[in-house]
A and B are shown apart, each in its own frame.
Chain A
Amino acid sequence: AQKITQTQPGMFVQEKEAVTLDCTYDTSDQSYGLFWYKQPSSGEMIFLIYQGSYDEQNATEGRYSLNFQKARKSANLVISASQLGDSAMYFCAMRVVLGAGNNRKLIWGLGTSLAVNP
């Protein structure tokens, strides 16, 4: 079954430190995309970073990097130099293609709540 697992319901980190948010996925597809989103208390879901299953390099976007370990089926998000504004829910998601054509499905994890302490 296709599934995303985020095992950390809540995490704490000191300001300016790095933090890793875990995400493991399950799919038998060879082609898939992995996404991380941030959701502050305001509710809007903000796209952070994308990793394709065939991408050889780990994705990076500013202070965000994705530690992609394909054999272990993990796609952990690393936030460097945490800031107070990083306090939010973080969701990992996986997109797979359903059958023929361009029909795709986005599968979501339950999220990790990150609190950055001053």
Chain B
Amino acid sequence: KAGVTQTPRYLIKTRGQQVTLSCSPISGHRSVSWYQQTPGQGLQFLFEYFSETQRNKGNFPGRFSGRQFSNSRSEMNVSTLELGDSALYLCASSLGLAGVRETQYFGPGTRLLVL
């Protein structure tokens, strides 16, 4: 079974631009979660989508948005990029219905550098 894939793997943008990151979950997984990881803040939860609906949201400004398609693929968008948005963005997929036993499987991440 193929793992979680994320595209692109690396991205360089300038302040003020916008960016879209893509994530394809493991086949059969209906939940996709997004995380931002920086050396200073650690792993921070952005949002989770399940069956095309946002189920959970972290404490990020409205510049960060996402969506999920009917095939469970998900995209994350960051508008008006700031230098502080430079980070590793990780996508994780899971079945979505396993309660506390729910195991997330991560993609390789997208490294975003904002200049």
Contact = CB atoms under 8 A, between A and B. Distances in A.
Bind each other: yes
B56 A52 contact: no
Given A43-B88, A45-B90, A110-B42, A105 B56 contact: yes
A35 B103 contact: yes
A98 B42 CA distance: 22
Given A44-B108, A44-B109, A45-B92, A104 B42 contact: no
Interface residues of B, number: 23
Interface residues on chain A, size class: 20 to 34
B97 A102 contact: yes
Interface stretch (A16-24, A69-77, A80-88, A89-97): A89-97
Interface of B: 33, 42-43, 45, 55-56, 88, 90, 92, 96-97, 99-109, 111
8 A-B pairs closest in CB distance: A45-B106, A33-B100, A43-B109, A44-B108, A108-B43, A95-B100, A110-B42, A32-B100
